[in-house]
Amino acid sequence: MEKLIFEKSRKGRKGYSLPKLDVNKTELTNLLDAKFIRTEPAKLPEVSENELARHFVRLSHLNYNIEEGFYPLGSCTMKYNPKVNEKTASLDGFTNIHPLVNAKYAQGALQLMYELGNDLMKITDMKGVTLQPSAGAAGEFTGIMMIRAYHLDRKDFKRTKILIPDSAHGTNPASAAIAGFQIVNVKSDEQGRVDIEDLKAKANDEVAGMMVTNPNTLGIFETNIMTIQEILHDCGALLYMDGANLNALLGIVHPGKIGVDALHINLHKTFSTPHGGGGPGSGAVVVSERLLPYLPVPQISFKNNEYSLNYDLPKSIGKIHSFFGNFLIFVRAYTYIKMLGKEGLKETSQGAIINANYLKSLIKDYFEFPYPAQSMHEFVMSGDKQKKKGATTMDIAKRLLDYGFHAPTVYFPLIVHEALLIEPTETETKESIESFAQALIAINKEIDEDPANVKSAPHNTPIGRINDAYAARNLNLKWVD
């Protein structure tokens, strides 16, 4: 009888000897269809450890990251992630815990989630919390589902619409549509804020709620937020706030005090955690009194000195993630919040606002700023003037790579021609902000003197300009030898 021996002996992490995995082919045949059982050894590449290490280190050098340089992606908050977060997130007690373990044996993890939830409620002055959503968009969906449950619970069945400003992040209309709502766009006024007259014209008893980003995606604070919430609440609708980027508000503005009913917070933006490239994320949602009964289950309770999971919420929208969410991101956010404390968090926001406005002041004479209002943690400018001279915003973004910077967010928000949305974050030094400004000024000069060089950029990167539209339409992820 043929034996398939996977490994002769293995040592566990702590030096315990694990039993030899000795599988009998006939036993395997009982489990698997014969056609799935290999008759020849798998053709795995045979390379030395040295070759393997070099391969991956070389690949890592091709990759740009926040530890290499400035990463000004607007609406993304690409801040430096303190290493202590990684240390706490890799503690044995957190990484080896099983999600099905009895709550009695997971008291530390439950305490961390309970305290993090409380901190988020304090930071926002809101009344309830769920940590389950696995990203900002999932948080939006959760919040909108709670707003839906609120109206249905009141037998208010007419409310089929969600209002969304035209400057909003694309996930807002997507989340509301997936929750079954019809999207109604609200215009921006010439200052880049919600057009109050347009909002008044559209607010009625068919509106379930409005999703407002504040500061909005132009980096401008919605100074009319009290009027906005009043208009909505007067017609029975609720206010959802997209707080993906809370980086300008910590310790300064409390959403609970400006009439917000639900708000998602991207833990992976404001509260550090490396992100980008699709994950992982965590989009905690905090709610006002009105929405407490509809929060997802389980909620974490603390009674008689013990943390437990509470599923007894009859009006809950249910579960929206397997188990509890992206737990290790909670650990990072918790570490970050506890380490900075109340004052530190406020300084974070002040620093983010100062850095954005300083950078804006350095380049204001070279680019167009269609919405000149005071910026918060990010600002938007237009490459329209440069486009008329022959180089588009995309060309500028590509040329920035040659100067050693990550490009900012481009062509978003959609209401700005040739948009560049720039967010330096509080973790950058004055010097790095100045060198980024110098690069933009130099590129602007090149557009006048040698536009071809900008249009054919990047020149110094491992690969040149790729046709991203072609790549997206002809996706081919298979390696062909």
Ligand X SMILES: *Cc1c(COP(=O)(O)O)cnc(C)c1O
| Footprint on this chain of ligand X (rule: CB under 6 A) | 75, 135-137, 169, 171, 213, 217, 242, 244-245, 266, 281, 283
CA dihedral 128, 134, 137, 139 (to 10 degrees): -10
Quote the CA–CA distance of 155 and 210 in Å, as a whole number. Answer: 19
Q: Which is nearer to ligand X, 213 or 272 (CB)?
A: 213
Q: Which is nearer to ligand X, 242 or 446 (CB)?
A: 242
Q: Which is nearer to ligand X, 171 or 393 (CB)?
A: 171
Q: Which is nearer to ligand X, 137 or 457 (CB)?
A: 137
Quote the CA–CA distance of 432 and 438 in Å, as a whole number. Answer: 10
| Contact status, residue 155 vs residue 289, Cβ threshold 8 Å | no
Instruction: Single out the residue of 240, 158, 242 nearest to residue 204, CA to CA.
Output: 158
| Contact status, residue 22 vs residue 3, Cβ threshold 8 Å | yes
CA dihedral 130, 132, 134, 137 (to 10 degrees): -40
Q: Which is nearer to ligand X, 249 or 447 (CB)?
A: 249
Task: Tell me the closest approach of the beta carbon of residue 328 to ligand X, in angstroms.
Answer: 16
Q: Name the residue with tokens 């022959």.
A: 390
Q: Which is nearer to ligand X, 194 or 437 (CB)?
A: 194
Amino acid letter, residue 73: L
Helix residue spans in 34-135 (DSSP H): 49-62, 83-89, 92-95, 107-124
Q: Which is nearer to ligand X, 381 or 454 (CB)?
A: 381
Task: Tell me the closest approach of the beta carbon of residue 166 to ligand X, in angstroms.
Answer: 14
Task: Tell me the closest approach of the beta carbon of residue 476 to ligand X, in angstroms.
Answer: 25
Q: Which is nearer to ligand X, 137 or 396 (CB)?
A: 137
Task: Tell me the closest approach of the beta carbon of residue 216 to ligand X, in angstroms.
Answer: 8
Q: Which is nearer to ligand X, 175 or 386 (CB)?
A: 175
Query: What's the sign of the alpha-carbon dihedral 112, 113, 118, 119?
Result: positive
Task: Tell me the closest approach of the beta carbon of residue 245 to ligand X, in angstroms.
Answer: 5
Query: How many CB atoms sit inside 10 A of residue 235's CB?
Result: 15
Task: Tell me the closest approach of the beta carbon of residue 74 to ligand X, in angstroms.
Answer: 8
Instruction: Single out the residue of 420, 371, 380 nearest to residue 191, CA to CA.
Output: 371
Task: Tell me the closest approach of the beta carbon of residue 447 to ligand X, in angstroms.
Answer: 29
Instruction: Output the CA–CA distances (angstroms, integers) from residue 275 to 76, 79, 171, in the order listed.
Output: 9, 10, 17
Backbone angles phi, psi at 252, to 5 degrees: -115, -50
Q: Which is nearer to ligand X, 260 or 391 (CB)?
A: 260
Q: Quote the distance between the C-alpha of residue 293 and its chain's center.
A: 26
Task: Tell me the closest approach of the beta carbon of residue 133 to ligand X, in angstroms.
Answer: 9
Query: How many CB atoms sit inside 10 A of residue 370's CB?
Result: 15
Quote the CA–CA distance of 162 and 203 in Å, as a whole number. Answer: 10
What is Dmax (Cα atoms) for the chain? 82
Measured from each CB, the residue nearest to ligand X is 136
Q: Which is nearer to ligand X, 281 or 298 (CB)?
A: 281
DSSP-derived pairing of the beta strands 262-266 and 238-243: parallel
Task: Tell me the closest approach of the beta carbon of residue 282 to ligand X, in angstroms.
Answer: 8
Q: Quick one: DSSP state of residue 440?
A: H
Task: Tell me the closest approach of the beta carbon of residue 164 to ligand X, in angstroms.
Answer: 11
Q: Which is nearer to ligand X, 288 or 326 (CB)?
A: 326
Amino acid letter, residue 272: S
Instruction: Single out the residue of 433, 383, 145, 388 nearest to residue 285, CA to CA.
Output: 145
Task: Tell me the closest approach of the beta carbon of residue 325 to ligand X, in angstroms.
Answer: 12
Quote the CA–CA distance of 215 and 378 in Å, as a whole number. Answer: 9
Task: Tell me the closest approach of the beta carbon of residue 277 to ligand X, in angstroms.
Answer: 11
Residue 407: both structure tokens together: 């490009």
